[in-house]
Amino acid sequence: MGRHTAACELQVTDCGLPEFLAIAARFGTHRYAFAVTPNTDHLIRFRTDQAFRDIYRQAEFVLLDSRFIARLLRRTGGVILPTCTGSTLTAELFGRVIGAQDPLVLIGGSAQQADRLRPRYRLERLQHHKPPMGFVHDPLAVESCLRFIEAASPFRFCFLAVGCPQQEQLAHLLWARGRARGLALCVGGAVNFLTGAERRAPRWMQSAGLEWLYRLSRDPARLARRYLVRGPRIFWLLPRLNFLLRSPSITPSG
């Protein structure tokens, strides 16, 4: 069978935003797990990259980030999946779940963004580390980042905001090393929205699955290739993905 023609399976956690907020709120610090938030670009990578699929299979929570994909699956195949976008999830965690004394880690974003988050949400225990550009190709930089996170453990939440696939690789390495405790979340550019560095689409565009179009209109030089060249591959690859729902793990706080 030809390359990328055989179907492969993606298990999506069966919970939307309200359900996952409740899970995250009581996850605790007694063990480690990580959540990934696949969008269109991530699904293309998942379908074509075995190493990326291996990482996803160790993720305890797979939360569909794309309302566009959810609508496409429902209309073309009758597949109904819940969505939980990383940007909204991050905003809700900071606004409704995280307390002033909660130990938090932010990987990625700027020092200025971390400084904005602390007073805005009265965070007294937020630790921030910004790895250098291209750090995943430098074993020493990767090790430094992992040690920073592990030294901050146990944490309530570790926000990995260094883009795909770097953030997923970090999350998986933390899992493999077995030293960290707490919940890590791969949230991409969510911190940019939270701190006002970027604006989210109007709510009607979010609900219609058109946030990608809004972002493209705001930054065509950076996003045109992703959305207009790479993105359309999803129409060929999506039928070659089998989506299965799996029940979320429920853990006591610790």
Q: What is the mean pLDDT of each run of 10 residues along the chain (254 residues)?
A: 62 96 96 97 94 96 94 89 95 97 97 96 97 95 98 98 96 98 96 83 79 78 75 85 88 50
Per-residue confidence (pLDDT) for residue 132, from 0 to 100: 94
Q: Greatest CA span in the chain, whole angstroms?
A: 56
For residue 203, give the amino acid letter: R
- Measured between alpha carbons, how far is 91 from 83 in angstroms, rounded to an integer? 15
Separation of alpha carbons 82 and 232, rounded Å? 22
Torsion of CA 81, 86, 88, 92, to 10 degrees: 110
Tell me, yes or no, if the pTM score tops 0.85.
yes
Contact status, residue 12 vs residue 246, Cβ threshold 8 Å: yes
pLDDT of residue 183: 98
